[in-house]
Chains A and B, each alone.
Chain A
Amino acid sequence: MRPIPIILLLLLSSASQAETPQQIGQAYAAEAKVTASAQRGEAFFRQRFGQNDKMPGCTSCHTDNPLKAGEHAVTGKSIRPLAVSANADRFSDAAKVEKWFGRNCKEVVGRACSPGEKADFVAYMSEVR
């Protein structure tokens, strides 16, 4: 694991805002030394991890359609769509992306997500229409 690219991007993000989903995805892919796959990202998004009764998978809150607004499984609050084509703000701030992968992977997946899983996830959310 080489966390250098994502750290560089995080530094960059505090200097200037507005990264693109491509930049963020590429930084994760470079860290994982793999080519990102939207198919793997979709499978990950739909997987039932079963670590948390209230939120067994991503779809518990984000619904099985990332183009649609989600609903928080506990609070019922609306969550804006994950797909970039439905919500242009998504994956435009590396610090925010890293923070929410950190929180949600720990609680839903039951462990930290690997850079490869993050790269795949960003690829899927960037491409899905």
Chain B
Amino acid sequence: MKKILVWDLPVRVGHWLMVGGFILAWLTSESESLRLVHVIAGATVFAVALFRLPWGFIGSRYARFADFVRGPAAVKEYAAGLMKLEPAHHVGHNPAGGWAIVLLLGLGILAGASGWAIYNDVGGHWLEELHEGLAATMLTVVLVHLVGVFTGSVLHGENLVSAMLSGRKNGSPEAAIPSQRPFALLVLLAWVVGAAWWMAN
């Protein structure tokens, strides 16, 4: 076992853009003078989540939904292993992490779409309530995700936060992905900038 490349650049940069966007959007949610910052931050989360959908089919091996979206049985088995403090090691996402991704992408897209509608004065007070509810649900999933990342890191003796920065995890050399996918990163960045600019206007 050695450190091998597992997460491509769009996965990693997209992840941290969502982190930054979510935190910033949360901190600016109560302010009208910071409304533009809030909209751009939220649009960043929304744009990354939308990009992640096709990337879940055409991205590198561990970025694909088929690699990490598992049924309830697999999640239960993983959770049972976690309870016994000996969770199965996955080179890519574990089944619980997979569901955190699906939920966060879905919530990010719904929160972004409702936020865009509010910003353009479509819908009434109920839409504001929905938007806030979606964001609060997202925060809850983020907190569960953080507990999972911390637990997984400790139990596997593998720092999953630095893995999401460097892209490298423990695995056998033949399990590595061949490329960082730098061109797709440029597409992601151009898309996020374009979408955020368009949504804030």
Contacts and interface: CB of A to CB of B under 8 A. Distances in A.
Interface of A: 52, 54-55, 61, 72-75, 77-78, 80, 89, 93, 95-96, 99, 103-104, 106-107
25 contacts: A54-B33, A55-B32, A61-B32, A72-B32, A73-B33, A74-B32, A74-B33, A74-B36, A75-B35, A77-B120, A77-B121, A78-B121, A80-B121, A89-B124, A93-B124, A95-B125, A96-B125, A96-B128, A99-B125, A99-B128, A103-B32, A104-B32, A107-B30, A107-B32, A107-B33
A72 B35 contact: yes
Q: How large is the interface on B (under 10, 10 to 19, 20 to 34, 35 or more residues)?
A: 10 to 19
A106 B34 CA distance: 13
Which of A55, A77, A99, A104 gathers the greatest number of chain B CB atoms within 10 Å?
A77
Which of B33, B36, B120, B200 gathers the greatest number of chain A CB atoms within 10 Å?
B33
Interface string B69-111: 0000000000000000000000000000000000000000000
B39 interface: yes
Interface of B: 30-33, 35-36, 39, 119-121, 124-125, 128, 200
Nearest to A89: B124
A74 B30 contact: no
Contacts of A99: 125, 128
A52 B39 contact: no
Q: Classify the secondary structure of A's interface with B.
A: loop
Contacts of B32: 55, 61, 72-74, 103-104, 107
A107 B119 CA distance: 19
B33 A75 contact: no
A72 B38 CA distance: 14
Contacts of A106: 30
A93 B30 CA distance: 19
A61 B32 CA distance: 10
Contacts of B31: 103, 107
Nearest to B32: A107
Contacts of B36: 74-75
A93 B126 CA distance: 10
A95 B128 CA distance: 11
A96 B18 CA distance: 29
Contacts of A73: 32-33
Nearest to B37: A74
Contacts of B124: 89, 93, 96
A93 B125 contact: yes
Contact of A74 (B35, B121, B125): B35
User: What are the nearest 10 A-B pairs in CB distance?
Assistant: A96-B125, A54-B33, A75-B35, A93-B125, A74-B35, A74-B36, A75-B36, A107-B32, A52-B33, A74-B33
